[in-house]
Structure 1
């Protein structure tokens, strides 16, 4: 459950960054060479994206992903 919540939060953050930058889902789709509906599903958390997809999405909005490992609770 926690993993799904964290994934949704990450994808929601990416969508918010995109929206603040006034970049459309269609533009992101072109940059990632995919479809706008695929971007909509990604941002909605309807799919479990590959790490490389998250990295490419972040790069398409001028960001990079940093991974941090923490102790399990």
Structure 2
């Protein structure tokens, strides 16, 4: 269900949502500080990426015995 622009504005007013609904939390707020601490814990700047796994890829792949196959 799609809303008309007027309906969106009425809903925004009813819910108390400002014009910038995607704005971040105010800098220095308890919530913003908590989010930053969690980000630093989960994604430390000095963390090294794990090495990529080494995969063995065969030169050829055996096809099943049978007639011609079409993808159409």
TM-score (norm 1): 0.25
Pick 1 or 2: higher relative contact order, CA cutoff 8 A, min separation 6. 1
**Structure with the higher helix share, 1 or 2:** 1
Structure ID, larger Rg: 2
TM-score (norm 2): 0.25
